[in-house]
A = this chain, B = another copy of it.
Amino acid sequence: MTQLEYAKKRIVTDDMAFVARREGVSPVTLRRDVRRGRTVILKRAGSPRAPVGVGRGLSVKINANLGTSPLRADQNLELEKLAAAVKYGADAVMDLSTGGDIAGMRRKVLVASAVPVGTVPVYEAVTRRREATAVTADDILDSIRTHIEDGVDFVTMHCGVRRAHIPLLESRIMGVVSRGGSFLVKWMLAHGRENPLYERFDEVLELARARDVVLSLGDGLRPGCLHDATDRAQLAELKTLGELARRARAAGVQVMIEGPGHVPLHQVEENIRLEKKLCRGAPFYVLGPLVTDVSPGYDHIAGAIGGALAARAGADFLCYLTPKEHLGLPNLEDVVEGVIASKIAAHAADLARGQPGRGRTDDEMAEARSRLDWEKMLSLALNPDKARAMRGESLPEDEDICSMCGEFCSAKANRDICEKVKMSAVRRRVGA
């Protein structure tokens, strides 16, 4: 039985209890949200990894993508990226390998990862046949089955891209930018047939249900630039995803919805509202979104802006972007930068959403700063290693000043002020 099926029977599973405890929410509330499809629990049945809850009332989660490409297929490097991503706070990872021994890479990631693992099975089907149009519907379903048998916790499937949506692309600058989406559109155009993942959706559901793998409905027509955002093609697909989400829930399959992409700042909240409405509150997994197209080298920052705003408005899961987005495959440092940027966005949104206990570290940091306790400040940083290195560029840690102001330090002046303000005599003296 899936978590959703247990929830429908009003049973709180051990995994639900674990997630509720970790998140500081009541198990009954969590069970209700799982039942209604507003929360999913990422954990394949029997997986040794701890479950991660994504959805309503829970802290915002972040995902780090990794994996080989045809031009860079260094499995050890990808495993190092995995370790770094988890170290700096990724709640889940996706192995998007398209180069070298794809199956071998996936199995290594599944052994090494402490957090839930997702994949996009259609990539492997396409790379095997080399030519997108040569892939059969059976190839794709076989690929899904293999990934699920290997033990992945969630799979992205672009089931909602339909033939009828293709003409809606005409007014776009960028057309289709999703890899999976572009493959399926090409396939539909070549064969003059409907998307096989849409046609055979019941089989997809049966595969996911058997092992309680969360279905992440990919947005194959997501906008690839601000110009294309929130257009008819995107919304037509989103509407289809809403219908498929309903069918998934009815079949006992946990489902979340993937989202843009590139969205201007003033459309971010509206995108969340539309997803929540059309997909009846299904968890929303957004890629960034990027709030400008002109930031290659800094897309993790453009994505953190969009992600923070999206998460505050109700997005549940942020896919990171690295500084290398739009430029090449990220290296180890890029992965760390991407994870931290997403973490800042998720944390800022958690604070805004009032997630239990989330402000504690910020207050501890503030206290350490007011005491000029450098060791504490550095240890509380999201990336203590980097903060320490930056601080170390200027001064040894035991100095209680920094190179910004030296002795001309407001924290030092403030210590005197604090002492005095706490004395009630001072209050009289200043005439208040």
A residues bordering B, Cβ < 8 Å? Answer: 69-72, 98-99, 123, 126-127, 132, 163-167, 169-170, 173-179, 181-183, 185-186, 188-189, 192, 224-228, 264-266, 291-298, 300-302, 304-305, 308-309, 312, 323-324, 326-329, 331, 340-341, 344-345, 347-349, 351-353, 359, 361-363, 365-367, 369-370, 377-378, 380-383, 386-387, 390-391, 393-395, 401-411, 413-414, 416-418, 420-422, 426-427, 429-432
Interface pair A182/B410, CB less than 8 Å apart = yes
Q: Which residues of chain B are within 8 angstroms of A418 by Cβ–Cβ distance? A: 169, 175
Q: Which residues of chain B are within 8 angstroms of A416 by Cβ–Cβ distance? A: 186, 189
Q: Which residues of chain B are within 8 angstroms of A163 by Cβ–Cβ distance? A: 430-432
Q: Which residues of chain B are within 8 angstroms of A386 by Cβ–Cβ distance? A: 297-298
Give bound CA distance, A377 to B224, whole Å.
14
A-B contact pairs, 20 of them (CB 8 A): A69-B403, A70-B408, A72-B394, A123-B408, A163-B432, A166-B417, A174-B369, A174-B414, A175-B417, A179-B405, A189-B416, A226-B363, A266-B312, A291-B351, A293-B362, A297-B390, A301-B301, A305-B344, A305-B345, A329-B404
Q: Which residues of chain B are within 8 angstroms of A227 by Cβ–Cβ distance? A: 359, 362-363, 366
Beyond A297-B390, A359-B227, A366-B173, is A265–B348 a contact (Cβ under 8 Å)? yes
Interface pair A291/B179, CB less than 8 Å apart = no
Interface pair A189/B351, CB less than 8 Å apart = no
Picked from B348, B369, B391, B417, the residue with its CB within 8 Å of the CB of A291 is B348
List 6 additional contacts besides A297-B382, A297-B390, A326-B402; criterion CB under 8 Å.
A98-B405, A164-B432, A165-B432, A167-B430, A188-B430, A292-B344
Give bound CA distance, A178 to B411, whole Å.
9
Q: Which residues of chain B are within 8 angstroms of A393 by Cβ–Cβ distance? A: 328, 331
Beyond A228-B366, A408-B69, is A426–B189 a contact (Cβ under 8 Å)? yes
Q: Who on chain B is nearest to A409 by CB?
A: B179
Q: Nearest chain B CB to A329's CB is how many angstroms away? A: 4
Picked from B123, B228, B395, the residue with its CB within 8 Å of the CB of A328 is B395
Q: Which residues of chain B are within 8 angstroms of A181 by Cβ–Cβ distance? A: 410
Q: Which residues of chain B are within 8 angstroms of A293 by Cβ–Cβ distance? A: 361-363, 365-366, 369
Q: List the number of copies, as a whole number.
A: 2
Interface pair A362/B225, CB less than 8 Å apart = yes
Give bound CA distance, A142 to B302, whole Å.
44
Give bound CA distance, A167 to B344, whole Å.
33
Give bound CA distance, A295 to B181, whole Å.
36
Q: Who on chain B is nearest to A299 by CB?
A: B344
Q: Which residues of chain B are within 8 angstroms of A421 by Cβ–Cβ distance? A: 166-167, 169-170, 175
Interface pair A349/B265, CB less than 8 Å apart = yes
Q: Who on chain B is nearest to A377 by CB?
A: B296
Q: Which residues of chain B are within 8 angstroms of A70 by Cβ–Cβ distance? A: 405-408
Give bound CA distance, A121 to B357, whole Å.
42
Q: Which residues of chain B are within 8 angstroms of A331 by Cβ–Cβ distance? A: 393
Q: Which residues of chain B are within 8 angstroms of A406 by Cβ–Cβ distance? A: 69-71, 98-99
Interface pair B390/A352, CB less than 8 Å apart = no
Interface pair A189/B312, CB less than 8 Å apart = no
Q: Who on chain B is nearest to A181 by CB?
A: B410
Interface pair B417/A185, CB less than 8 Å apart = yes
Interface pair B380/A294, CB less than 8 Å apart = yes
Q: Which residues of chain B are within 8 angstroms of A426 by Cβ–Cβ distance? A: 166-167, 189
Q: Nearest chain B CB to A326's CB is how many angstroms away? A: 7
Give bound CA distance, A294 to B361, whole Å.
7
Give bound CA distance, A260 to B312, whole Å.
20
Q: Which residues of chain B are within 8 angstroms of A312 by Cβ–Cβ distance? A: 265-266
Interface pair B126/A408, CB less than 8 Å apart = yes
Interface pair B413/A327, CB less than 8 Å apart = no
Interface pair A296/B327, CB less than 8 Å apart = no
Beyond A173-B366, A291-B308, A377-B296, is A226–B189 a contact (Cβ under 8 Å)? no
Give bound CA distance, A228 to B99, whole Å.
51
Picked from B305, B352, B405, the residue with its CB within 8 Å of the CB of A69 is B405
Q: Which residues of chain B are within 8 angstroms of A413 by Cβ–Cβ distance? A: 132, 176, 179, 182-183, 185-186
